[in-house]
Amino acid sequence: MPAVDDLYPHPLIAREGWPFIGIAVTIALAVGWFVGWGWSMPLWLIALFVLQFFRDPARTPPAGANLVISPADGRIVSVERVQDPYLKRDALRLSVFMNVFNVHSNRSPIEGSVRDVWYNAGAFLNAALDKASLANERNALWIRADGGADVTCVQVAGLIARRILCYTQPGAHLRTGQRFGFIRFGSRVDVYLPPDARPRARVGDKVQGGFTVLAELQPGTS
């Protein structure tokens, strides 16, 4: 199993949040210095909220062949048989909804090679809604697992989210739990698996990205 340092080249507070944290702290300091520290208290609370939003803890994925790990922190809002709109096949979809108090780093659910990446502009509906999977702004990764299975991992913007960040590209090789992206301020991640994959998470379960097992792939599937 890879060492945490190999999977986690980022600081405890995600770099994506540094500008926002700096602005929030600077405004709170300025108001406290020039107006009064009592008046700055709400601004310090906002700064603390921004700080917790961009936390990015290291995670060690569990060992085991054919395991599909959650790509994000949050709550399972969907486990169902659907059509994978990207690979045009029957699939098992598991959807993770992230609220503003969850970690928003996105991690690879499997080890494999990135075959393609698709970006689609769209709306900004509540990401907990099922129709958000196809209506909202989204970025999809097609990952072929080292064991041969095809997995589609889709970052979906939410009601408040306005920025999907993806740092990988076709040809890259991702390890299980490796950080590949970030979504700012509330969102969703869908994982489309081969239809014979066995789900190990249920609707309502709370999951941790890079750690919680969502499903198990059957050997030799695609």
Active site residues: 187
Is residue 58 one of the residues assigned to a domain?
A: no
Do 119 and 183 reside in the same domain of the chain? yes
Which residues neighbour 115 within 8 Å (Cβ) at sequence distance 6 or greater? Answer: 142, 143, 144, 150, 170
Is residue 197 one of the residues assigned to a domain?
A: yes
Do 49 and 147 reside in the same domain of the chain? no
Is residue 61 one of the residues assigned to a domain?
A: no
Do 211 and 148 reside in the same domain of the chain? yes
Do 102 and 48 reside in the same domain of the chain? no
pLDDT at 53: 85
Assess contact for 180 and 139: CB atoms under 8 A: no
Which structural domain range is residue 96 located in?
A: 67-216
Is residue 159 one of the residues assigned to a domain?
A: yes
Do 85 and 134 reside in the same domain of the chain? yes
pLDDT at 125: 63
Assess contact for 90 and 81: CB atoms under 8 A: yes
Do 95 and 138 reside in the same domain of the chain? yes
Is residue 172 one of the residues assigned to a domain?
A: yes
Residues in the chain where the model's pLDDT stays below 70: 1-11, 122-132, 159-162, 186, 220-222
Do 46 and 86 reside in the same domain of the chain? no
pLDDT at 83: 95
Is residue 221 one of the residues assigned to a domain?
A: no
| End-to-end Cα separation, the chain, in angstroms | 23
Is residue 131 one of the residues assigned to a domain?
A: yes
pLDDT at 7: 46
Do 168 and 73 reside in the same domain of the chain? yes
Question: Rounded CA gap, 222 and 209, in Å?
Answer: 23
Do 17 and 88 reside in the same domain of the chain? no
Do 85 and 187 reside in the same domain of the chain? yes
The secondary structure of residue 99, as a DSSP letter, is: -
Do 99 and 29 reside in the same domain of the chain? no
User: Could you report the per-residue pLDDT of 125-178, keeping only the tens digit for each?
Assistant: 655 666 667 777 889 999 999 888 999 999 998 766 567 889 999 999 999 999
Beta bridge partners of 155: 139, 189
CATH number of the domain at 180, please: 2.70.70.10
pLDDT at 65: 82
Do 21 and 97 reside in the same domain of the chain? no
pLDDT at 74: 94
pLDDT at 5: 40
Is residue 222 one of the residues assigned to a domain?
A: no
pTM of the model: 0.86
The total number of structural domains in the chain stands at: 2
